[in-house]
A and B are shown apart, each in its own frame.
Chain A
């Protein structure tokens, strides 16, 4: 059984978090792995977890009515998958599929939400880190949106 605390501490997302908080969070953490092609989360399902990707590749995709799923982003080692657990109604708005064998730490969203309500400082630490990720993703998405390789440019 791998020492999850150590793995959590080494992950970029938790860098700088105090040992006490790490111990607190470990209670909500578990090791997961998905084989190539396996669905990790499905649109419309309850968003109970978020994932720290340790290795592998995950594709974020949307269904289209007639063209099959369209991939809008792939995530890899060090990335965070999923933030719908933060915002009610806590439902996934997209699909996520493992492109290749992917190992991740799953963090129980409900469990964490509870702990954050109890200790707002922990909540702030987590939200600080999440905001950074979301902003980075938003900037990247904007660049994607501009379709700079398209005919307009």
Chain B
């Protein structure tokens, strides 16, 4: 136990934390309730946070419900992840204008690179998702500068989970419910009859500095134990488990399984799962011109392997059937990703299960494909 790392502060001081970050020049992004869901937005005060809210999630279901207490982070995950901010859904990458017989390029005009974000309320699974996206956008022979700059300048306050969502299986994927690394500060909310405070772990020197500047106290052994219990509570609530040993090989073996057809009968290829997934990174470049034809723009936007023309090469698409597109997505998450990046692409956040309009459960499908037993509880 390193006393220089663990702190506590009263829940009321959370607002000060936000203030301190703003003073350091960050735009603070945190969870708010909007459109009957918990989404990420710019926030300035604690009152904007989802105090006293929780979510109930199951296959194809998401409902917000009022809590009996005033927990600020008493929910699990909403439809969005930090992907939305580090890797914007629509982003202009190039302006081109005609120049005599040719043309010339100009850099993207929106000077977003100077904006620094502080993310408050990042779940451990989402934290792991960012680490995974780091490998995709920054770890290859070419680096995506848009993601890189936003990422380099970001400040992360993770919040460990005190309860499990209905579709969570982070423990099976090794990504939660506790944040292990990759954060500046990791909070655990402790709320009982007498107290409402946060146990805070500083993950970096910058995090420590911020915690000190809101006058946090050093955490006692008891505080640390209490925090562990909160997380343990979440861990015990996780109703699902997936055996990931040998998953890649089993999936490759079942590449032609008839199970894929069964899934395809239900799948609408609506791409919801890829949009809510915190690790899906597929994007496309769209070319537009103005009416006169003397200016053009190249815009990057999110794409999904579920669209028909995703795999189009002169004449037709490689994956025309829905079955092949669902298979591509699942194989990528649990098999190809390992070959490509050394980790699984899935962090067990359960969002795809929640937001699938027909309630397809990726974990159940993986089990069925690899002949693992599907529990009654799932």
Query: Direct contact between A and B in the complex (CB less than 8 angstroms)?
Result: yes
| A152 / chain B contacts, CB cutoff of 8 Å | 315
Looking at the assembled complex, report how far the CB atom of A144 sits from the nearest CB atom of chain B, in whole angstroms.
19
Residues of B contacting A151 with CB < 8 Å?
315
The chain B residue with its CB closest to the CB of A151 is B315
- Against A, the Cβ 8 Å flags (1 = close, 0 = not) of B301-339 are 000000000000011000000000000000000000000
Q: State the CA gap A151–B316 with chains docked (Å).
A: 12
A153 at the interface (CB under 8 A from B): yes
User: Which partner residue on chain A sits nearest B314 by CB separation?
Assistant: A153
Name the A residues within 8 Å of B315 (CB-CB).
151-153
A152's closest neighbor in chain B, by CB?
A: B315
> Whole-angstrom distance from the CB of A16 to the nearest CB of chain B?
39
Main secondary structure of the interface of A (DSSP, over half): loop
Chain A residue, CB-CB nearest to B316: A152
Q: Residues 122-153 of chain A: 1 if any B CB is under 8 Å from the residue's CB, otherwise 0?
A: 00000000000000000000000000000111
A contact residues, range: under 10
Closest approach, in angstroms, between the C-beta of B124 and any C-beta of chain A? Answer: 48
User: Given the complex of chains A and B, what is the CA–CA distance between A64 and B315 in angstroms?
Assistant: 31
Contacts of B314 in A (CB 8 A): 153
Instruction: State A152–B315 Cα separation when bound (angstroms).
Output: 6
Chain B residues numbered 263-319 whose CB sits less than 8 Å from any CB in chain A: 314-315
Closest chain A residue, CB of each to CB of B315: A152
Assembled-state Cα–Cα distance A153/B316 (Å): 9
Closest to B313 in A: A153
Assembly CA distance A152 to B314 (angstroms):
8
State how many angstroms separate the Cβ of A68 from the closest Cβ of chain B: 31
Complexed CA–CA distance, A98 and B314 (Å): 40
Output the least CB separation between B371 and chain A (Å): 38
A151 to B314 CA separation, bound complex (whole angstroms): 9
Q: How far is the CB of A104 from chain B (nearest CB, A)?
A: 43
Q: Smallest CB–CB gap between B316 and chain A, Å? A: 9
B245 to chain A, nearest CB (A): 42
CA distance A70 to B314 in the complex (A): 29
Tell me which residues across on chain B come within 8 A of A153, comparing CB atoms. Answer: 314-315
Residue interface mask B26-64, A partner, CB < 8 A = 1: 000000000000000000000000000000000000000
Taken together as a complex, chains A and B put the C-alpha atoms of A153 and B315 apart, in Å, by 7
How far in angstroms is the closest Cβ of chain A from B75?
52
In angstroms, how far is the closest chain B Cβ from the Cβ of A74?
Answer: 30
Closest chain-A Cβ to B263's Cβ sits at a distance in Å of 30
Bound-complex Cα distance A38 to B109 (A): 74
Shortest C-beta distance, A150 to chain B (Å), equals 10
Question: Interface code B100-111, partner A: CB below 8 Å = 1, 0 otherwise?
Answer: 000000000000
Measured CB to CB, the closest approach of chain A to B266, in angstroms, equals 33
Q: How far is the CB of B5 from chain A (nearest CB, A)?
A: 61
B176 to chain A, nearest CB (A): 48
A141 to B311, CA, bound (A): 30
Q: Which residue of B lies closest to A153 (CB)?
A: B315
CB distance from A100 to the nearest CB of B (A): 39
Query: Min CB distance, B1 to chain A, in Å?
Result: 66
Q: How far is the CB of B147 from chain A (nearest CB, A)?
A: 36
Alpha-carbon separation in the docked complex, A84 to B109 (Å): 74
B233 to chain A, nearest CB (A): 59
Give the Cβ gap from A122 to chain B, nearest Cβ, in Å: 45
B314 CB, nearest partner CB in chain A, Å: 8
Nearest Cβ on chain B to A13's Cβ, whole angstroms: 40
CB proximity of B315 to chain A, nearest CB, Å: 6
B311 to chain A, nearest CB (A): 15
A135 to B315, CA, bound (A): 30
Interchain CA distance A152-B313 in the complex, whole Å? 11
Instruction: With both chains docked as a complex, state the minimum distance between the C-beta of A147 and any C-beta of chain B, in angstroms.
Output: 13
Taken together as a complex, chains A and B put the C-alpha atoms of A152 and B316 apart, in Å, by 9
Measured CB to CB, the closest approach of chain A to B313, in angstroms, equals 10
Q: How far is the CB of A149 from chain B (nearest CB, A)?
A: 13
**Within the complex, what minimum Cβ distance (angstroms) separates A152 from chain B?**
6
**Alpha-carbon gap, A37 to B314, bound state (A):** 42
A58 CA to B35 CA, complexed, in Å: 77
* Nearest-Cβ distance from residue A118 to partner chain B, whole angstroms: 51
Contacting B at CB under 8 A, from A30-71, are none
Within 8 A of B (CB), among A75-99: none
How far is it, in angstroms, between the C-alpha of A151 and the C-alpha of B315 when the chains are bound? Answer: 8
CB distance from A117 to the nearest CB of B (A): 48
Nearest-neighbour CB distance to chain A for B51, whole angstroms, equals 61
B183 to chain A: closest CB distance in Å?
51
Interface residues in B55-113 (C-beta closer than 8 Å to A)? none
Q: List 4 A-B contacts (CB under 8 A).
A: A151-B315, A152-B315, A153-B314, A153-B315
Give chain A's interface residues, CB within 8 Å of chain B.
151-153
Interface residues of B (CB under 8 A from A): 314-315
A-B pairs, top 4 by smallest CB distance, nearest first, are A152-B315, A153-B315, A151-B315, A153-B314
